[in-house]
């Protein structure tokens, strides 16, 4: 019923949803037939469906390199996340992981569900990695080594300060941005971006995930490590877990807004990075997740539901972002629209209101100075139905039949 209600309220998202469904089915048909590549792309769908979709839009060589890069780092992350592994065992594995990706016989079982499958059959990923061009291998090895060392460092310490928060996010995400820039360069399709811009691309995504996933992470059993910096949350509560309790709702929202404001500091760098990209498929690969991030932050800001359940963009809006993100004018338009939504939620009595508004104004200034805002279509639409409900239901049923037909092929 929730999906039907969303369609009724946003009928303009019907067509993008259908296009996304068709594109996803077509992407599945491109999966290579060799067992190791088949495993890699099938696993990619299981560990991150959204990233799998944008990765599969890339040209073949770069697509394979990015897919393997993602799976290698996902495997590394699985080791870091498994709280059942003693630190004296975990740290050496993290520090040596960049060497294990050259050894099809290396094996270490950990993680749960699909992540356990990934680790148990990591030899497929290694086999695929060994088939990549040397330039791709060097980039993946370098980033894996640096990330493993950074993860090992933070296994042994908590995130206390904002500087440490940035450092941790650099190791687990900023390095991903740097690695992707190196892969784009190795493909000869892009120039090598400045490290600071590549880092910001990763930090913006990572901080959005950390903010959005508060409740899931704090409630995880066994207890997950949390990465909200004490320097921020201690201004509002005595313990980080206190944010989820109803009696602390005011403080929780203020802390949340502080975290969102911190994440917004990376937006201008992200816009600079994306504006320099030349190859359309690489641009879409980079731009879609960034728009999803600013959209997610706009939804999370001043929203107590972050501490009560799941806050995320509805599927139809996600489909619209994927469908409409083709040029830099689309990106500027999306960032402007979502920043307007965020601005409308800022309350004067919030302790960080001035800082938040200043950061929003800086984002909007960058978008306005691009000179292309009048060329974009809005991502933020009214919550009121704009079409006759009976007609929308009929169209929805027809689309459901079409999707079922396509799925059965």
Q: Any idea which residues carry the catalytic annotation?
A: 168, 212, 225, 285
Give which of 389, 367, 384, 386 is closest to 376, Cα–Cα: 367
Give which of 261, 290, 258, 262 is closest to 274, Cα–Cα: 290
DSSP letter at 374 equals: G
CA angle 9, 15, 20 (to 5 degrees): 115
Q: What is the dihedral of CA 195, 197, 202, 208, to 10 degrees?
A: 150
Residue 396 CB neighbour total at 10 angstroms: 17
DSSP letter at 247 equals: G
Which tokens belong to 222? Answer: 């066994």
Which residue's structure tokens are 């291998």?
Answer: 137
Q: Tell me whether the omega of the peptide bond preceding residue 222 falls within 30 degrees of 0, making it cis.
A: yes
The CA distances from residue 301 to 68, 247, 264, 349, 400, in Å, are: 34, 19, 11, 14, 34
């Amino acid at each position: 019923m929730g999906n039907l209600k969303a369609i009724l309220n946003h009928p303009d998202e019907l067509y993008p949803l259908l296009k996304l469904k068709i594109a996803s089915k077509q992407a599945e048909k491109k999966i290579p037939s060799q067992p190791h590549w088949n495993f890699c792309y099938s696993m990619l769908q299981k560990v991150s469906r959204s990233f799998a979709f944008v990765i599969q839009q890339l040209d073949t060589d770069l697509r394979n390199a990015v897919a393997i890069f993602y799976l290698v780092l996902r495997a590394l992350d699985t080791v870091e996340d498994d709280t059942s592994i003693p630190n004296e065992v975990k740290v050496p594995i993290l520090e040596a992981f960049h060497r294990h990706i050259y050894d099809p016989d290396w094996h270490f079982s950990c993680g749960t569900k699909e992540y356990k499958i990934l680790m148990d059959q990591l030899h497929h990923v290694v086999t695929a990695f060994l088939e990549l061009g040397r330039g791709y291998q060097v980039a993946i090895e370098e980033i894996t080594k640096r990330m493993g060392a950074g993860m090992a460092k933070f296994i042994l310490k908590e995130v206390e300060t904002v500087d440490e928060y940035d450092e941790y996010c650099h190791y687990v995400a900023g390095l991903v941005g740097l690695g992707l820039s190196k892969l784009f360069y190795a493909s000869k399709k892009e120039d090598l971006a400045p490290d600071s811009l590549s880092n910001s691309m990763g930090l913006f995504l990572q901080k959005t995930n950390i903010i959005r996933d508060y409740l899931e992470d704090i409630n995880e059993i066994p207890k997950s490590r949390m990465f909200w910096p004490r320097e921020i949350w201690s201004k509002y509560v005595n313990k980080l877990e206190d944010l989820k309790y109803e009696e602390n709702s005011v403080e929780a929202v203020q802390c949340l807004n502080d975290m969102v404001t911190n994440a917004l500091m990376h937006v201008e760098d992200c816009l600079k990075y994306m504006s320099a990209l030349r190859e359309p498929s690489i641009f879409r690969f980079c731009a879609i997740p960034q728009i999803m991030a600013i959209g997610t932050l706009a939804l999370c800001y001043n929203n107590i539901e972050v501490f009560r359940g799941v806050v995320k963009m509805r599927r139809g809006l996600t489909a619209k972002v994927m469908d409409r993100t083709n040029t830099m004018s689309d990106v500027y338009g999306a960032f402007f629209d979502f920043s307007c939504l965020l601005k409308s939620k800022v309350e004067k009595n919030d302790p960080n209101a001035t800082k938040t508004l200043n950061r929003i104004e800086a984002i909007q200034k960058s978008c306005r100075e691009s000179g292309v805002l009048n060329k974009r279509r809005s991502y933020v639409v009214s919550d009121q139905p704009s079409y006759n409900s009976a007609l929308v239901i009929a169209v929805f049923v027809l689309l459901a039949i079409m999707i079922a037909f396509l799925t059965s092929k």
